[in-house]
Amino acid sequence: MRTLLATIVLGLLLTNCTNESVKTDNLPVGEVSGKLPKANGKPGQALISIDNDLWAGEIEAVFKSVFSEPAQGPYIYSEPIFDFIQEDPSTINKTRKKHRNFMRIILEEDDKLTNTEIQVKRNNYSNGQLYVQIRDSKKERLIDFLKKDLKTYVLLFDEEETDRLVAQYKNAPHLLFNETAKERFGISISVPQSAKFKADLDHIIYALDKSADEVTKDNPKTGAKGGTYWSQRGILVWDSPYEGKESMTPENIMALRDSVLKKYVQGTEKDAYMTTEYYPTHKPTLQYINIDGNEAVKIEGLWKQAGNPEALGGGPFVQYSFRHPTRNRVIHANAHIFAPRFDKREYIRQIRAILKTIEILD
């Protein structure tokens, strides 16, 4: 399920640069044959291929400014919208050329281009790659273009990363969780196969997906102890009766959410449980979205533990709530993360992608 944002971003790609020559090759990921090697590179990162001499100075400053803009979402602390690494084309080998998000900046002063030329396509050097080329014959015009429109292409990389995850989850769903969601709630949802059931009741299913994201050894020089550092994604789906428009008000959705969390998601200490953070600087945000032609409420915010002052911990969550068109029920799907050692951007991307796999079936 490609989101409306993807359409908006691609629309910007075509219309935001009305004074430039824009070329796009809008192939879906994976349509090119398997002859290409698989894309590599770190999720949430772009490789910028540009001559070092051209990079130094104003262009470098533009990139640092745009890429460091804060990502939008349920963050405790600000994180950049995307990461990048810059490298001179002469040092980029075949392996590096396969980077999943590749941007090439070219200044060819011998050419007499009338405008900045942009080329965007998938699967250029590798299968699964998004490739952006920005080319000009005048440095000043190139810089002006980057100041005005670089963020459009950063957002395109960002959305592509989410789409890759959606495709990954849909290609390898947790079959039991998905079949249970179909039967109980009339929806499909693709959660990671590694997730484990925590609750399986008539009106709620709950699974946890835990992974060891970093393993360190003891450091004899500093005395620091090694250990295994985990991240955890929780996915809950529940339903409630639809009793008119009041069932879909944010106040009622949040009240029901907190009652469900209190009952089914226990905390780390005795009597502790999960609840929503409502502190003024971190209040949940609400957005109306569309799922298969049906209006849904998307809520993003932070969760915390309550019920015991010794219980610590919290993190981001994303929730969809929508009226099922044939069952006269409101379906609620919540995904949250707990990753205290790590930055949150790519984990937020993961739980957003899980919810983007939702489809209404009957």
Q: Where are the alpha helices (DSSP H) in the chain?
A: 4-15, 52-55, 58-67, 94-97, 139-171, 175-185, 250-264, 345-356
What 3-state class would DSSP assign to 137? coil
Distance (Å, whole) CA 21 – CA 135: 10
Same fold yes or no, 4-170 and 173-360: no
**Domain at 173-360, CATH class:** alpha beta
What residue ranges in 9-140 does DSSP mark as E strands? 21-25, 45-49, 83-87, 101-107, 117-122, 130-136
Place of tokens 């959705």: 253
What's the order of all strands across the beta sheet hosting 83-87?
21-25, 117-122, 130-136, 101-107, 45-49, 83-87
Q: What backbone torsions phi and psi does residue 123 show, to the nearest 5 degrees? A: 60, 50
What 3-state class would DSSP assign to 163? helix
CB 181 within 8 A of CB 191: no
Distance (Å, whole) CA 287 – CA 296: 8
Distance (Å, whole) CA 18 – CA 7: 18
CB 153 within 8 A of CB 133: no
**CATH entry 3.30.379 includes domain 4-170:** yes
**Which pTM was predicted?**
0.88
What are the structural domain ranges in the chain? 4-170, 173-360
**Nearest Cα residue to 305 out of 330, 275, 339:** 275
pLDDT by position in tens, the chain (length 362): 344 333 333 433 433 343 333 333 454 444 444 589 999 999 999 999 999 999 999 999 999 999 999 999 999 999 999 999 999 999 999 999 999 999 999 999 887 889 999 999 999 999 999 999 999 999 999 999 999 999 999 999 999 999 999 999 999 999 999 999 999 999 999 999 999 998 888 899 999 999 988 877 777 776 767 788 889 999 999 999 999 999 999 999 999 999 999 999 988 899 999 999 999 999 999 999 999 999 999 999 999 999 999 988 899 999 999 999 999 999 999 999 999 889 999 999 999 999 999 999 98
Q: Count H helices, E strands: the chain?
A: 8, 16
